[in-house]
Amino acid sequence: MIVAIYPGSFDPITNGHLDIIDRARRIFDHLIVAVLQNPNKVPLFSAEERKRMIEEAVADFPNVEVEVFDGLLVHFARSRGCRVILRGLRAISDYEYETQIALTNRKMAPEIETVFLPTSTEYSYLNSTVVKEIARFGGCVRGLVPPGVERRLREKFSSVSR
């Protein structure tokens, strides 16, 4: 039984993330989407909100669960019996950063392998920051994020001054 962990900020989850989750759940027996509560970043959505949005988006995927974590990823992965860390790769610019993190994690936890999945071409430009910028200024994010995220972005920015 191979349990993989897909960590990230997911602030908020996009269809690019969802595409990686959907493909990975067919490869691994069990997939944990791990929402990072990072004390160095001020997110738009709380960790619980981010978790809930992902849970809604993966409701039809029986072998996918969502958890919030803080601290070191390898400690969390070990505590859940994960043997694989999954990351998505978009541009070649992702590669340098991701390799550095993967090698650092391997140094700390040699029994856990990092696996990269390349993005699907239609999502290669997509990231959470772009989505937030579009939504902040009243643009349409349909097709870029799951419907529940689209709704919450609208609510968030209609209550926050621009």
* Residues that are catalytic: 17, 41, 90, 128
- Is 12 a residue that touches ligand ADP (CB under 6 A)? no
- Is 127 a residue that touches ligand ADP (CB under 6 A)? yes
| Closest approach of ligand ADP to the CB of residue 92, in Å | 12
Distance CA 131, CA 13 (A): 10
Question: Among 4, 17, 43, 73, which residue interacts with ligand ADP (rule: CB under 6 A)?
Answer: 17
Question: Among 4, 10, 25, 57, which residue interacts with ligand ADP (rule: CB under 6 A)?
Answer: 10
- Is 8 a residue that touches ligand ADP (CB under 6 A)? yes
Q: Which of 35, 119, 29, 9 is nearest to 82 (CA)?
A: 29
- Using CA atoms, how far residue 62 sits from 124, 126, 132, 137, 143, in Å, is 26, 26, 29, 36, 23
User: 33 with 60: CB under 8 angstroms?
Assistant: no
The answer to whether the annotation marks 9 as part of a ligand binding site is yes
User: 149 with 57: CB under 8 angstroms?
Assistant: yes
Tokens read off for 3: 């349990």
- Is 128 a residue that touches ligand ADP (CB under 6 A)? yes
The answer to whether the annotation marks 18 as part of a ligand binding site is no
- Is 16 a residue that touches ligand ADP (CB under 6 A)? yes
Q: How many residues does the structure list for the chain?
A: 162
Residues that bind ligand ADP (CB under 6 A): 8-10, 14, 16-17, 20, 87-88, 90, 94, 119, 123, 126-128
